[in-house]
Amino acid sequence: MAPSTSHFLSTAFLVLVSLNLCLVHEVMTQTPNCLPLPNVTDADRLQFALNLEFLEAEFFLFGALGTGLDSINPNLAGGGPPPFGAQRALLDPVVARIMEEFGYQQVGHIRAIIDKFGGIPRPLLNISRENFARGFNGIVGFNLIPPFNPYANTLNYLLAAYSIPYIALGGYVGRIRNLTTIDNRALAASLLGIVAGQDAVIRTLLYTRANQFVPPYPLTVAEFTNRISARRNFFGGCGNKDEGILLPDTTLGAENRTTSNILSADFYSVAYTRRPVEILRIVYGGNESVPGGFFPQGANGNIAKRYLNGGASSIV
């Protein structure tokens, strides 16, 4: 009897160990990479930021004016293709003027980075209403009817705009700590200041409409922002770094005292940070090595290319 019991216990132990190893392997293979990329220069980091600066410049300029970077300073595009599907939005006069200013600010950001580090070709950008419609269907979890059109009116455009600057904000917060010179950190901090301001304006404009339904959909403005933020957290894959303009309770509010969330921040009311790998997953739609989303042919610059070419396997 004892030998059979001993054999049973030994076999059971080996089975449990095997199951545990399988679970560990599954978790390790499914857990997104959240580590920094080694051997990256300051120029690489700031040129990576140009991808989002191009995206914001084109979205804001076309939304407000119906024309983009090529009508302001075509040399800054570095020979890259014009954006796909961009168009003028039906904006009220106040928001149109705000977005026009934001667009010019992005052009200034592109100039600042290029003057300091040299440029990259503008990547192909898909800011078509069809692309936004697909994205918003994924965000809400069902097919919106009619399809979401960011250019149809002011409210839709603000919701679409909500999905862009905050990504760049987290990128600059994460980038500054890794830059090697005071001058480069000062430039990144100055860029961050403007991007953070843009994000705050967009969030404030949406907060004033927080409980308003977004016609003809059965969701309020706040619900849309919560779902957009949840989607970015899901794609980013490195924890909660994003919340909508209204919180479900005070747990995540400033000093646990408020459900308003005009500025998204952590437990200490400090800005969240995102690494390039998270940003690529968000703007591509899930995988840093598979172009898509806003960048159908991928982002440009050394960092983005390393992920596309599999060089990110050298992460330590």
Question: 200 near 211, Cβ under 8 Å?
Answer: no
Query: Does residue 87 sit in helix, strand or coil?
Result: coil
Q: Kindly report the average pLDDT of the chain as a whole number.
A: 90
Start-to-end Cα distance in the chain: 51
Query: Does residue 98 sit in helix, strand or coil?
Result: helix
Question: Residue 312 has what pLDDT?
Answer: 58
* CB burial of residue 227 (10 Å; 0-12, 13-18, 19+): middle
Question: Residue 10 has what pLDDT?
Answer: 42
- Is the pLDDT at 313 greater than 60, yes or no? no
Mean pLDDT of 58-86: 98
Question: Residue 12 has what pLDDT?
Answer: 40
Question: Residue 4 has what pLDDT?
Answer: 46
Mean pLDDT of 232-252: 94
Mean pLDDT of 146-159: 98
Distance separating alpha carbons of residues 161 and 142, to the nearest angstrom: 21
Question: Residue 26 has what pLDDT?
Answer: 36
Mean pLDDT of 167-182: 95
158: tokens are 């603000």
pLDDT band at 182 (very low <50, low <70, confident <90, very high): very high
Question: Residue 311 has what pLDDT?
Answer: 54
Mean pLDDT of 230-240: 95
Distance separating alpha carbons of residues 76 and 92, to the nearest angstrom: 29
Mean pLDDT of 73-84: 97
Distance separating alpha carbons of residues 54 and 106, to the nearest angstrom: 7
In the chain, domain spans: 41-314
pLDDT band at 30 (very low <50, low <70, confident <90, very high): very low
pTM for the complete prediction? 0.88
Question: Residue 19 has what pLDDT?
Answer: 38
Question: Residue 163 has what pLDDT?
Answer: 87
Question: Residue 309 has what pLDDT?
Answer: 72
Longest dimension (CA), the chain: 88
The pLDDT tens digits for 247-286 are: 999 998 999 999 999 999 999 999 999 999 999 999 999 9
* CB burial of residue 182 (10 Å; 0-12, 13-18, 19+): exposed
- Is the pLDDT at 49 greater than 80, yes or no? yes
Question: Per mean pLDDT, which range of 125-134, 258-267, 304-313 is the poorest?
Answer: 304-313
Distances (CA, A) of 17 to 10, 14, 20, 30: 11, 5, 5, 20
pLDDT band at 165 (very low <50, low <70, confident <90, very high): confident
Cα within 13 Å of Cα(149), Cβ side: 13
Distance separating alpha carbons of residues 43 and 48, to the nearest angstrom: 8
Residue owning tokens 């009619």 = 146
The pLDDT tens digits for 135-147 are: 999 999 999 999 9
Mean pLDDT of 12-31: 39
